[in-house]
Structure 1
Amino acid sequence: MEDPLGALSRARLQLFLWMPVALSAGVGLYFSRLTEPGFADYSLAVLFGLLSAALALRAPVPMRFPAALVMLAALGFLLAGLRAQSVAAPVLSFRYYGPVTGRVVMIDRAASDRIRVTLDTVRLDRVSPSRTLARVRVTLHGAVPATLEPGAQVMMSAHLSPPPPPAAPDAYDFRRSAWFDQLGAVGYTRSPLLRAAPPDPGDWALAAHRTRMGLSQAIQERISGQPGAIAAALMTGDRSGLSEATREAMRRSNLAHLIAISGLHMGMLSGFVFALVRYGLALVGRPALIWPTKKLAALAALIAASAYLWLAGPAVSTQRAWIMVSVMLGAVLVDRRALSLRTVALAASLLLIWKPESLTEPGFQMSFAATTALIVALGPWTRAARRLPRPLRPVLMLVATSLIAGAATAPIVAAQFHRLSEYGVLANLLAVPAMGLLVMPMGVLAAILAPLGLAGPALWAMGLGTGWILRVATWVSGFEGSVLSIVQPGPAVVPLLALGVIGMILTRGAGRSLSGLAILAATLLWSRAPADRPALLIAPEAQQIGLMTAQGRVLAKPGAGFISGRWLEADGDATSLEEAAARPAFTGPDAARLTQFRAAPLILLTGKSAPARLADLCTPGALAVIAARLPEPPKGCELWDINRLRETGAVAIDSLGRITTTAQTKGRRLWTAP
């Protein structure tokens, strides 16, 4: 067996590669806590960090590497806490209906396929200035004015509520992402949205957004229909023109990454500009032998990528892609290898330092998983490609790239979205070449030619490419069994998988064996996930309950679409809401649904008559869920009313009767406080 001290000594040389892993451990520790860290916690983290730093500098060589890892983990913990405190903003604590005024800072589309706007400089009636919300997001159910544009001051009457709690105790917590986006309330309006004032011409903070929306509109005027909406999303980041049918087809075919500006788009854009400038400079003749053409091309590509970032907006995926591309182009400028694990480690570390909450986002996990896998496979592929016929190499490289990236991201997609596209590799093989060879190059040419009024042919060709991508997505998503539903794993599965895979790449000997054990443990935990699904789920507003049976989860009634959908997805159940509600279990009218749970009555009461019905149904041993507030709950049954659920959040009960609430699993954090 390999000498452990010798292994640690050699691992010290790989500290740079382990830096994002150690930072992630500290960030993950912060987000996994059930209580918000206090002064004592941060003081302890500072103490650990300082002591570890001292050991990393002065301890015997074998101790320096683990000491440095502890120091970086402490830094990650502190950075996450600092970031969470720095974005603190008021959150609405009650349901509000009344006048809302503010400045439009974002226009996008909700899952309901309706336009929604995000406002800042918000003013609400009866809300004190000290509790004024930094931002609110409102879905427009009424007519959308043609004059809607970023920077405009608008007013409306809207229903607002705090960011909603998770649909289940183990479900995704939207409140956390809303906290880091400073989103204090979400809601909707059925009344017309009125423009109070046009955008301020001197408001440079929204200049990029106004430019983005103007270019998006211009692109969609030249490329009609959904192909134009896809082109606008790719070039400007504006996805408000995409219909829900298009989004769903892209998701089911595993092509959704093509409409979210990410490393693929930034890489294609910068790669095209790099090649265009380098080969263009090569045509000037003798000076090209003297000029540093490679560095000039890298500098031009960096400028193009930065302009793309400015135009495409502040989405985390775009920022992450820019950091990765900038690090790689920077490596070219300083005569270092652009594609290496060190560049990936540096990009990941920079993003974790800047925005530690990125660690919890699927986009971060998928981007770095795919990039790392492709770099690790680059060496073997290069050796294998030498033995292949030259004409076949590009095609086989595309196949290999799709397979490697798909395999690396598949566990994350399955864990986070509870679905896998069975024909995603086929869709990517057909669509990604059009993206790289037609859509992105024509987009760059259109941008260059637009000031001369000559962008028409390039946009026409770009439309052919986006139309092809849409046809591929629609065709593949229509295959029978195109999507495989996956049961939601436990919270330890993804971290164990990530540590195991990273360990397999970066370690040898005993470290690699331990990494294999981590992967095996994650696999075993995931295999147990179906048996661990709750026997009964209660929605946070008592609007729905779901009972697990031999046929799958039965919904008490149709409705509560978002929550019901999340439950079925986590169960790995592809059944529609209507089919799940039609499964045999519940009886009675919609306002009083009855069944049996653990040999006792289970009741869901909704509507105005719910309190009156409860007196007759609340028998000893029964479990009653009622969508009402009861000042004096009756005795005799286990009762979950609105008042109790406001304290606990959604509830899960297992087959043995053990209760788990959202308040227990999510804890008392900055974003969970009422």
Structure 2
Amino acid sequence: MRPVLAGLEALGAARGRLMPWAPVFLSLGIGLYFALGVEPAAAAIAAAAALAVALALAAWRGSGLLRVPATGLGLVALGLVLAALRAHLVAAPVLPFRYYGPIEGRIVDIDRSFSDELRLTLDRVVLEDVAPDRTPGRVRIALHGEQGFTDLAPGLTVILSGHLSPPDGPVEPGGFDFQRLAWFSGLGGVGYTRSPVLALLPPEGGLSLFAFRLRMRLSEAMQSAIPGQAGAFASAMMTGDRAGMNQATNDVLRASNLSHLISISGLHMGLLVGFIFATCRYGLALLPPLALRLNTKKLAALVALMAAAFYLMLAGPNVATRRAFIMAAVMLVAVLADRRAISLRSVAIAALIVLVLEPESLVEPGFQMSFGATVALIVSFQPWQRVQAHVPKLLRPAAMMVLSSLAAGTATAPIAAAHFNRIAEYGLLANLLAVPLMGVIVMPAGVIAAVLAPFGLAFPALWAMGIGTDLILRLAAWVAGMKGAVVAVPAPPEGALALLALGGIAALIGRGLWLRGAGTAAAALALLLWAGTERPAALVSSDGGLAGVMAEAGRALSKPKGAGFVAKSWLEDDGDLAAQDQAFTRPGFEGARGDLTADVAGLTLRHLFGKGAAERAGAACRDGALVVLSVEWEGPRPGGCTLVDPLSLKKTGALAIYAGPDGLRIVSARVAAGDRLWNRPPERRARVAALQ
């Protein structure tokens, strides 16, 4: 009992230094909500809320020994409640079936799809013969075929004929869950059109659309002044408009670990705020009458805060930009309050604000990478402050750049590998060369161009900015072209990334050798689990249109094209850099096109697709085979096999087959994902809502 009491006393004595742990405990509750296999009932959420209140009272008025444990447990309960409430608050209609027909809506976003096609996000959606209470609030449509008949603009109401479907679930059990992302984004339908998009009503006003319209105008102006992909890259960095960037540019940025430069995040906000803060402060220092009468540091912080708010409005309130603004705002407010601007406490406050406002951010790579990098930078600069006096002054900036890139890269590499299944081998080199160009040329030139634009004098600054962005793109292409620039890694097993994150946090911010040692051991265990991850022996897509079997040379696919996103995701999760057409040529499937056979640890897998697939299914259904049909089977199911078709797969989702010493194990994506708000059929969602 004495060791426990001693531990509680030590926690109570260290209470003032435990602020960095607050978002960690809140994250545990949020993570618990997303890890649940069943959506918690209203009574369970109410019980968790009551527990959070009781623990808060215990932390406030209870014994000193219990305050820290009560606070930690209360934050866990609060995190669970916040995530559950957020999931219910963002609830919106999801299209209950596949739809083809006229689609009307107002443009609220323009970007590019996976296939590099222009894509529109529409709100105020109207669908033919679909009741308003069943019509999604937002849909996203990729534009195929001949377009250009309408000048697409923010706020423009358009009409078109297109295909829409409900957001699909994971492409494999335990994989990336697009349904969950769409749910929290308010996206109730996705699809495409091959017909021209026509204007129905002129663009509308509104503050959000005003910012969107301003962003698009600035983007067009920048791309007019800076030709080619350098202009599209500059526009993406300064305004968040990535529609002008082609797939080739995105690929080299990813391969060189520079894709974070086109996501307006902490780096952009930090460079912007830092440049404006320094310019304002040192500019005022040149005016002695003002410098002697004003607190130039606080005035510069106030100006930088207003600039950051404008940048947030301009770039759009996406998650990464909001998160970057909150982090910058917390640090600038700390300056105004005469507190340390950069500290673990400031980062903790920013993380708490983000998690309270958007608990779903926790499971997104942007949140994990930005806060992981920030914590690593702060921790790494503590020893740097002790040794920098021994480094020659001329070498300090370079040494500091190497240290910061190494710290941020080390912290974010496993997160990026877990989400994107690749490691850029020369990412450190690329960032060491590209980030200074961002800070010295691109961002300052962009700010100067914005200040001079109202006077028609922005061209010289844009010219300089174009030189900087062109150099960065050339650098990215050079690094991406190096041998072994990209190393593919398989997807980690469930729970490994969470264990790695907790271990890393304990090792970085923990106080005491035992806690840091335990954190290091947990991180090492997570990496061992990751290294031994088991990939499925076979995979079947959620519509039966694609199958893949693991062979000696890697996963072999049943089609050379079609279902491109599914194929790419499977191969990436395998840690495989092959393209779909390359994977199709691998040994694994045998037979004629549309009637392929593969052996999966003794199980015969038949994939039937194309013309006459249903007629061939009866003959294929024998000897206990697994028959995958790409069209719906009509009539009673034949005996002698397991037959799956789009109708049955709609209930199970994608399938994975694992081969082990105990035989074959088939796992469905729907079972793996559990019964959650975002993957329930619309009719079940309505029944549950009525009961609650």
TM-score, scaled relative to structure 2: 0.95
Structure 1 residue 536: deviation in Å?
1.2
Flag the 1:510–1:5 CA change in 2: closer, same or farther, 3 A. farther
Alpha-carbon distance in structure 2 between the residues aligned to 1:177 and 1:241: 24
Q: Which stretch shows the higher mean deviation, 143-152 or 178-187?
A: 143-152
Alpha-carbon distance in structure 1 between the residues aligned to 2:582 and 2:207: 51
Superimposed CA distance per residue, residues 357-400 of structure 1 (whole angstroms, 9 cap, x where no aligned partner): 10010000000000000001112112222111111111111111
Aligned: 1:169 with 2:193: no
Superimposed CA distance per residue, residues 234-263 of structure 1 (whole angstroms, 9 cap, x where no aligned partner): 111111111111111111100000011010
SS of 1:62 mapped into structure 2: coil
For 1:131, give the aligned amino acid.
R
1:550 is matched with 552
Choose from 476, 481, 497 the match for 1:478.
Answer: 481
Alpha-carbon distance in structure 2 between the residues aligned to 1:322 and 1:203: 22
Alpha-carbon distance in structure 1 between the residues aligned to 2:604 and 2:278: 70
1:368 is matched with 371
Superimposed CA distance per residue, residues 638-661 of structure 1 (whole angstroms, 9 cap, x where no aligned partner): 221222111100111111211111
Q: Is the 8 A contact 2:591 2:597 kept in 1?
A: yes
Alpha-carbon distance in structure 2 between the residues aligned to 1:598 and 1:71: 49
Alpha-carbon distance in structure 2 between the residues aligned to 1:595 and 1:496: 37
In the alignment of these two chains, the number of paired residues is: 671
2:666 is matched with 659
SS of 2:677 mapped into structure 1: coil
Superimposed CA distance per residue, residues 581-628 of structure 1 (whole angstroms, 9 cap, x where no aligned partner): 111121111210012223242200012311111111111221111112
For 1:60, give the aligned amino acid.
S
Structure 1 residue 11: deviation in Å?
4.1
Superimposed CA distance per residue, residues 316-336 of structure 1 (whole angstroms, 9 cap, x where no aligned partner): 111100000000000000000
SS of 1:183 mapped into structure 2: coil
2:260 is matched with 257
Alpha-carbon distance in structure 2 between the residues aligned to 1:502 and 1:99: 51
Alpha-carbon distance in structure 2 between the residues aligned to 1:402 and 1:520: 22
Alpha-carbon distance in structure 2 between the residues aligned to 1:629 and 1:582: 27
Alpha-carbon distance in structure 2 between the residues aligned to 1:595 and 1:214: 54
Alpha-carbon distance in structure 2 between the residues aligned to 1:580 and 1:237: 35
Q: Is the 8 A contact 2:48 2:81 kept in 1?
A: yes
Aligned: 1:399 with 2:389: no
Alpha-carbon distance in structure 1 between the residues aligned to 2:377 and 2:651: 47
2:689 is matched with none
Q: Is the 8 A contact 1:108 1:240 kept in 2?
A: yes
Aligned: 1:385 with 2:388: yes
For 1:446-525, list aligned pairs within 5 A.
446-504=449-507, 505-525=509-529
1:298 is matched with 301
For structure 1, the 5+ residue unaligned runs are none
Q: Which runs of structure 1 show a deviation greater than 6 angstroms over 4 or more consecutive aligned residues?
A: none
Alpha-carbon distance in structure 1 between the residues aligned to 2:459 and 2:150: 25
Compute the RMSD of aligned alpha carbons: 1.4
Aligned: 1:40 with 2:40: no
Structure 1 residue 510: deviation in Å?
3.4
Q: Is the 8 A contact 1:443 1:459 kept in 2?
A: yes
SS of 1:172 mapped into structure 2: coil
For 1:44, give the aligned amino acid.
A
Aligned: 1:408 with 2:415: no
Choose from 534, 537, 551 the match for 2:536.
Answer: 534
For 1:629-668, list aligned pairs within 5 A.
629-630=632-633, 631-655=635-659, 656-668=663-675
Alpha-carbon distance in structure 1 between the residues aligned to 2:285 and 2:405: 32
SS of 2:605 mapped into structure 1: strand
Choose from 122, 127, 130 the match for 1:119.
Answer: 122
Q: Is the 8 A contact 2:343 2:378 kept in 1?
A: yes
1:191 is matched with 195
For 2:202, give the aligned amino acid.
P
For 1:152-167, list aligned pairs within 5 A.
152-167=156-171
Alpha-carbon distance in structure 1 between the residues aligned to 2:111 and 2:279: 33
Structure 1 residue 50: deviation in Å?
2.2
Aligned: 1:338 with 2:341: yes
Flag the 1:493–1:7 CA change in 2: closer, same or farther, 3 A. farther
For 1:671, give the aligned amino acid.
W
Q: Is the 8 A contact 2:655 2:667 kept in 1?
A: yes
1:181 is matched with 185
1:27 is matched with 30
For structure 2, the 5+ residue unaligned runs are 682-692
Structure 1 residue 100: deviation in Å?
0.3
Q: Is the 8 A contact 1:420 1:486 kept in 2?
A: yes
Superimposed CA distance per residue, residues 380-438 of structure 1 (whole angstroms, 9 cap, x where no aligned partner): 11222211111111111111111111001001011111000001111111111110000
Q: Is the 8 A contact 2:114 2:565 kept in 1?
A: no
For 1:274-293, list aligned pairs within 5 A.
274-293=277-296
1:228 is matched with 231
Choose from 110, 135, 140 the match for 1:137.
Answer: 140
For 1:610-629, list aligned pairs within 5 A.
610-629=613-632
Structure 1 residue 76: deviation in Å?
1.1
Aligned: 1:7 with 2:7: no
Choose from 89, 94, 97 the match for 1:86.
Answer: 89
Superimposed CA distance per residue, residues 65-108 of structure 1 (whole angstroms, 9 cap, x where no aligned partner): 11101111111111111111111110011110000001000011
Structure 1 residue 146: deviation in Å?
5.2
1:428 is matched with 431
1:57 is matched with 60
Q: Is the 8 A contact 1:11 1:65 kept in 2?
A: no
Structure 1 residue 203: deviation in Å?
2.7
Superimposed CA distance per residue, residues 162-221 of structure 1 (whole angstroms, 9 cap, x where no aligned partner): 112111001100111111111010111000000111112x43330000000011001111
For 2:343, give the aligned amino acid.
S
Q: Is the 8 A contact 1:115 1:144 kept in 2?
A: no
Structure 1 residue 672: deviation in Å?
0.4
Q: Which stretch shows the higher mean deviation, 144-153 or 235-244?
A: 144-153
Alpha-carbon distance in structure 1 between the residues aligned to 2:590 and 2:264: 48
Structure 1 residue 288: deviation in Å?
0.9
